[in-house]
């Protein structure tokens, strides 16, 4: 088989999210994956630098796993979360489909790279990594909902409530998620002028 993995990954920009929610600004899986990777790395650094009584994590590893967390969607397309989580049978079918697609993707890599990327794409056995990546994924969805609401898109009222409800268990048990929500998320409701002004002031606590 010709190694087509990286060419396939470049098509993630063609897989669109929020198809049923009528967003004011379209979002594709590639840019979502970048944001989740950024958030996962930040959560890891918050753990290591702020909550120093907790075991350290590899923030760089978290970022790379997060970068590939939706890679299966280049084959499956995005499945609306409201549908995916509407029924246990539906969720089981979606996860089986994602597992099959993830395995297929690994086989599209050159043989010498497959074992490395298998650990990045099929990371379900690493519960701690999966927990950080899932929290980052939900934070990405939550900040998207906030941005849409700030733009006046009431389609995302329900999304904001549902995502916050899904985030709450992570906030309750992961102090780094609670810290990120308190210190970093409010800025997503600021205007670009306010953001630039804040950048010019610099040096935050």
Cα 71 to Cα 98: distance, rounded to the nearest angstrom: 9
Cβ atoms of 62 and 177 closer than 8 Å: no
pTM: 0.91
Please choose, from the candidates 37, 42, 34, the residue with its C-alpha nearest in 3D space to the C-alpha of residue 12: 34
Structure tokens at 5: 């993995």
Cα 123 to Cα 105: distance, rounded to the nearest angstrom: 14
- The CA-atom distances, in angstroms, between 49 and each of 60, 74, 134 are 14, 35, 21
> For the segment 72-99, what is each residue's pLDDT rounded down to a tens digit?
999 988 887 777 777 889 889 988 999 9
Query: How high is the pLDDT of residue 40?
Result: 98
Mean residue pLDDT of the chain comes to 92
Cα 37 to Cα 43: distance, rounded to the nearest angstrom: 10
Query: In order of start, what are the domains of the chain with their CATH numbers?
Result: 4-202 (1.10.3210.10)
């Amino acid at each position: 088989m010709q190694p087509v993995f990286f060419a396939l990954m470049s098509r993630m920009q063609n897989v669109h999210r929020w198809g049923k929610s009528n967003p004011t600004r379209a979002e594709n899986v590639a840019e979502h994956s970048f944001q989740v990777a950024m958030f996962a790395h930040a959560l890891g650094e918050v753990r290591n630098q702020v909550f120093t009584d907790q075991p350290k994590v590899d923030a760089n590893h978290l970022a790379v796993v997060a970068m590939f967390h939706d890679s299966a969607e280049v084959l499956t397309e995005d499945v609306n979360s409201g549908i995916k989580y509407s029924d246990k049978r539906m969720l089981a079918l979606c996860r089986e489909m994602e597992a099959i697609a993830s395995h297929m993707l690994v086989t599209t890599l050159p043989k010498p790279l497959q074992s490395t990327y298998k650990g990045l794409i099929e990371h379900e056995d690493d519960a701690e990594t999966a927990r950080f990546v899932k929290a980052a994924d939900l934070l990405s969805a939550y900040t998207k909902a906030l941005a849409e609401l700030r733009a006046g898109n009431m389609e995302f009222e329900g999304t904001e409530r549902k995502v916050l409800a899904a985030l709450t268990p992570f906030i309750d048990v992961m102090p780094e998620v609670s810290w990120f929500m308190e210190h970093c998320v409010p800025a997503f409701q600021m205007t670009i002028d306010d953001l630039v002004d804040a950048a010019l002031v610099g040096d935050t606590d």
